[in-house]
A and B are shown apart, each in its own frame.
Chain A
Amino acid sequence: KNQVEQSPQSLIILEGKNCTLQCNYTVSPFSNLRWYKQDTGRGPVSLTIMTFSENTKSNGRYTATLDADTKQSSLHITASQLSDSASYICVVRVMEYGNKLVFGAGTILRVKS
């Protein structure tokens, strides 16, 4: 069964600190993996997208890594800011007929001052 598991479910950090969010998937065959940021009451916004041949992708203070062998991805946030408080969603695309997307439940990050 195609699944995407994210951890932790929620996380609280102090402003200025770094953090890493995890995404494990059982999707096969794999096409690509995307990380979204979703502010409360808003729609998700794409941060990074990686194919199976890419190991890392950065977008400002956000850096995503991908290990296609172990089927794990992480999103590292550097020097966190209050505006980073949001839900971070990992989404994996299945390379098969229909190219379905499998969404993780997200990690809720709260950055405190």
Chain B
Amino acid sequence: DGGITQSPKYLFRKEGQNVTLSCEQNLNHDAMYWYRQDPGQGLRLIYYSQIVNDFQKGDIAEGYSVSREKKESFPLTVTSAQKNPTAFYLCASSTGQGYQPQHFGDGTRLSIL
């Protein structure tokens, strides 16, 4: 079955450490997205990519970085510059372009040690 796989399910970060969240899709979708979800708030867009080797900042990109070397993969790195990284991170994908995710992964929960 086609879908989006996020790993790991749970991740812990130490002070000053960079961590990378994996997102892989086998839906043959062109566009991929990363969202952050905090309790009591709506999802916020971190980065999105409409095509391989291209990506744009979303509303809260500071402290995060991404790459899009393959169509299937869109990893997110949470850097030490992100001072409040504890959140639920969701990866999504869609056909076409324009901020309209159609499928979401099951998320990675990141916590601070």
Footprint of B on A, CB under 8 Å? 4, 9, 41-46, 89, 91, 93, 98-106
B42 close to A98 (CB less than 8 A): no
Set A9, A43, A45, A106: member contacting B42, Cβ < 8 A: A106
Q: State A80–B1 Cα separation when bound (angstroms).
A: 28
Among B61-69, B71-79, B104-112, the one that faces the other chain is: B104-112
Q: State A46–B104 Cα separation when bound (angstroms).
A: 9
Footprint of A on B, CB under 8 Å? 4, 40-45, 90, 92, 98-107, 109
Minimum C-beta distance from B41 to chain A (A):
6
B100 close to A93 (CB less than 8 A): yes
- Grouping DSSP codes into helix (H, G, I), strand (E, B) and loop, the B interface class, with mixed when no group exceeds half, is loop
A98 close to B99 (CB less than 8 A): yes
A43 close to B104 (CB less than 8 A): yes
List 11 interface pairs A-B (beta carbons < 8 Å), by A numbering: A41-B107, A41-B109, A42-B106, A43-B105, A44-B43, A44-B90, A91-B42, A101-B101, A103-B42, A103-B44, A105-B40
Contact residues in B for A41 (Cβ distance below 8 Å): 106-107, 109
Contact residues in B for A99 (Cβ distance below 8 Å): 98-100
Q: Which residue of B lies closest to A34 (CB)?
A: B100
A101 close to B104 (CB less than 8 A): no
B104 close to A44 (CB less than 8 A): yes
